[in-house]
Amino acid sequence: MSSHWRIRHKLMLGLGLVVAVMALLLCGTLYGLWSNYVTMNFIRYKTAELAAANKLQSAIARLIEPSTIRSLIDNPSRVDDTLADLRKELNAYKNCLQVSMDHGLDPTSTDFAQRQVDLLTKHLDDPLFFPNAFKLLAPPTASASSTAAEDDVFNKKVASYEPFQELRRSSEDLWDQINHELGNRFDASRRHYQVPTWIIATASVLGLLCVAGLMRSFYAWVFNPIRDLEAGVKRVAGGDFNHRIELHSGDEMEDLSVAFNDMIERLQELYTDLARQVNDRSRQLVRSERLASVGFLAAGVAHEINNPLASIAFCAEALEARLGDLLRHVRTSGRGNDSEVFTKYLKMIQEEAFRCKSITERLLAFSRTGERRREPTDLGQLVQSVLDITQHLQNAKGKEIAFEVSAGLAPGGRVSAWVNGEEIKSVVLNLIVNALDSMDEGGKLTIRLTQREGMAELRFTDTGCGMTEEVLENIFEPFFTRSRTGKGTGLGLTISYQIVSQHGGQLEAYSAGANQGSTFTVRLPLQAVEAKPANPPQRVAPGRAA
């Protein structure tokens, strides 16, 4: 049931238990302290009473001794002094008893003591107490001439005299009563000590059990949910957007997990939508770059197509003129010597027409995107097909392009990689066009195809303007361009890098410095690999080998 409480309710429950245990401990402690205080006060006042009662008892015992009585009989003038001393001790005890009564000691004990004090006071205040005693106890002869037998008789009379016995019993009862009360108080103090001891011990055990239970509950209610939340957040931060945090604590932690899961679902939807948009934009950028490349190629190819079209037009005009002349000659003379000329020009028309068709077919084949399907592709043929197109570009005039394939790496010297041919064609075309743009007339571009450590490697080395360290740092950044022609969008190398990375390959750039040429290295896997996201660009600073 408590698992569905809110955290504040659980904390209030724990706080209530702690307060209850603390209150129990406090009550036991206060009860023990109060019992100790009452006992100490009782002992203090009763000890004072006991001392006064002891003195009073001693004074009475001395008073009723036969020798004292004999002395008082012989010297009646000393009676007042003796009574004064006895009253002094009795008053001292009265003062102690009054203090005990003022501090609220047991009324039963004080009442008994008060009765004994009243009895003693009654005898001592009686003016005939001693005269009557002296008359009854007076010896027949003087003390100096009394015999031992007479002394014994006198002593027995004094010992058996009832008023004296009452004084003795009253003082002894008073002293015994005080001792009895002290004994009872000591027994009661032991019980009073045991009660707070049991209370404190029980409260301590309950407190320990409460702390242990609260710690365990804290782990179950707070620590474990926080740990699960932390683990879930780390997994989501690591990119696992399908992970969901499952908590059934019925409190704010469960609400937090539900809110977090809702946030992750919305984030996953946004991430999926963003990935779709990025993918669409990437396709658009690739298509745009491809269209730009096709347009660039079309401008160069158009120049090449003009030549065979001019030849076709020239031959057609010549045939038209000769056809008119031929018809006239045939009508007048019947000769047919120009048939070979007709045949030659017609053949030339066919050849030039097929030449134009071949050029346009290669251009269309390059611009066709097709599906992003990967398959084993001969990189040598792929590079050669791109070179067949780029040789017609205007910026290729007066520049040498050398294509080298390392022999012995595969049967027939072929290097086959698991790629999408059309995408890799656009990468190769972009690198070739950039190299041609960076070189002046007479420059040389060397393309080397080899195989190394399970990867196919294409190395494009030109003798062009090279790159500084700043250019190398930003060469793969979108919209960054340092083209000498002033053309370009700055997306060619960015898209090329993305394509190579998605194939599980690498694209690196190297230059020894300005006017010292550049080298771009493309590495592609020979076997099929899972498509990967683009990694941070790999750049090689000037002065280091690529």
208 by Cβ neighbours in 10 Å (0-12 / 13-18 / 19+) ranks as: exposed
Decide which of 215, 240, 255 is a domain's last residue: 215
Q: Does a structural domain hold residue 251?
A: no
Q: Does a structural domain hold residue 71?
A: yes
Q: Residue 234: is its pLDDT beyond 50?
A: yes
What number is the average pLDDT over the span 148-152? 75
Q: Which of 87-91, 113-117, 132-136 has the lowest mean pLDDT?
A: 132-136
Helix (H, G, I), strand (E, B) or coil at 531: coil
Confidence of residue 274 (pLDDT cuts 50, 70, 90): confident
Q: Which of 94-108, 352-366, 487-501 has the lowest mean pLDDT?
A: 352-366
Confidence of residue 446 (pLDDT cuts 50, 70, 90): very high
191 by Cβ neighbours in 10 Å (0-12 / 13-18 / 19+) ranks as: exposed
How many domains does the chain contain in total?
2
Confidence of residue 546 (pLDDT cuts 50, 70, 90): very low
CATH number at residue 526: 3.30.565.10
What number is the average pLDDT over the span 435-455? 90
Element spanning 496, H or E? helix 492-502
Sheet strands (E) in 387-535? 400-405, 416-419, 444-452, 455-462, 506-510, 518-525
Q: Does a structural domain hold residue 434?
A: yes
CB neighbours of 126 closer than 8 A, spacing ≥ 6?
Answer: none
CA triplet 427, 429, 432: central angle to 5 degrees?
A: 110
Beta carbons of 397 and 436 less than 8 angstroms apart? no
DSSP state of 441: T
Q: Does a structural domain hold residue 232?
A: no
Q: Residue 434: is its pLDDT beyond 80?
A: yes
Decide which of 186, 215, 244 is a domain's last residue: 215
Q: Residue 393: is its pLDDT beyond 50?
A: yes
Q: What is the C-alpha separation between 429 and 493, in angstroms, rounded?
A: 11
Token pair, residue 218, equals 């804290």
Long-range contacts of 235-242 (CB under 8 A, 24+ apart): 236/264, 241/267, 241/268, 241/271, 242/268
Token pair, residue 209, equals 């059990």
Q: What is the pLDDT of residue 311?
A: 64
- For residue 318, the one-letter residue type is A
Token pair, residue 345, equals 């020009």
The dihedral region occupied by 37, where left means phi > 0, alpha psi between -120 and 50, and beta the remainder, is alpha
Q: Residue 447: is its pLDDT beyond 80?
A: yes
Q: What is the C-alpha separation between 394 and 388, in angstroms, rounded?
A: 13
Confidence of residue 329 (pLDDT cuts 50, 70, 90): low
Residue 435: closest CA among 459, 458, 463 = 463
- For the ranges 29-43, 52-66, 403-417, 498-512, the maximum mean pLDDT occurs at 498-512
Distances (CA, A) of 145 to 133, 139, 141, 149, 158: 22, 11, 7, 12, 19
* Tens digits of residue pLDDT in 295-322: 666 655 655 666 677 667 666 766 666 6
Confidence of residue 507 (pLDDT cuts 50, 70, 90): very high
Q: Does a structural domain hold residue 316?
A: no
Q: What is the C-alpha separation between 490 and 519, in angstroms, rounded?
A: 18
Q: What is the C-alpha separation between 16 and 55, in angstroms, rounded?
A: 58
Confidence of residue 444 (pLDDT cuts 50, 70, 90): very high
Token pair, residue 34, equals 């109060």
Confidence of residue 140 (pLDDT cuts 50, 70, 90): low
Alpha helix (H) ranges present in 418-461? 421-438
Distances (CA, A) of 417 to 98, 365, 455, 523: 118, 20, 8, 10
Token pair, residue 167, equals 């004084």
Could you give the percent of the chain with pLDDT greater than 70?
72
Half-sphere exposure of 387 (CA within 13 A, CB side): 16
Confidence of residue 509 (pLDDT cuts 50, 70, 90): very high
Q: Does a structural domain hold residue 453?
A: yes
* Tens digits of residue pLDDT in 189-223: 777 777 778 878 888 888 788 888 777 777 777 77
User: Could you please report the per-residue DSSP string of 222-280?
Assistant: IIHHHHHHHHHHHHHHTT-TT-------SSHHHHHHHHHHHHHHHHHHHHHHHHHHHHH
Helix (H, G, I), strand (E, B) or coil at 507: strand
Q: What is the pLDDT of residue 402?
A: 92
What number is the average pLDDT over the span 174-180? 80
CB neighbours of 362 closer than 8 A, spacing ≥ 6?
Answer: 385, 388, 389
What's the mean pLDDT when you consider all of the chain?
76
Q: What is the pLDDT of residue 529?
A: 76
What number is the average pLDDT over the span 247-267? 79
Q: Residue 151: is its pLDDT beyond 50?
A: yes
Helix (H, G, I), strand (E, B) or coil at 21: helix
Decide which of 181, 215, 249 is a domain's last residue: 215
Helix (H, G, I), strand (E, B) or coil at 417: strand
Q: Does a structural domain hold residue 182?
A: yes
Q: What is the pLDDT of residue 449?
A: 93
CB neighbours of 327 closer than 8 A, spacing ≥ 6?
Answer: none
Range of the domain at 90: 2-215
More confident residue, 71 or 325: 71
Q: Does a structural domain hold residue 479?
A: yes
Q: What is the pLDDT of residue 283?
A: 66
Beta pairing partners, 451: 456
Q: Find how far residue 55's CA is from the centre of its chain.
A: 80
CB neighbours of 220 closer than 8 A, spacing ≥ 6?
Answer: none
User: Could you please report the per-residue DSSP string of 354-407?
Assistant: HHHHHHHHHHHHHH-------EEEEHHHHHHHHHHHHTTSGGGTT-EEEEEE-T
Q: Which of 89-103, 158-172, 323-337 has the lowest mean pLDDT?
A: 323-337
Beta carbons of 42 and 185 less than 8 angstroms apart? yes
260 by Cβ neighbours in 10 Å (0-12 / 13-18 / 19+) ranks as: middle
Confidence of residue 545 (pLDDT cuts 50, 70, 90): very low
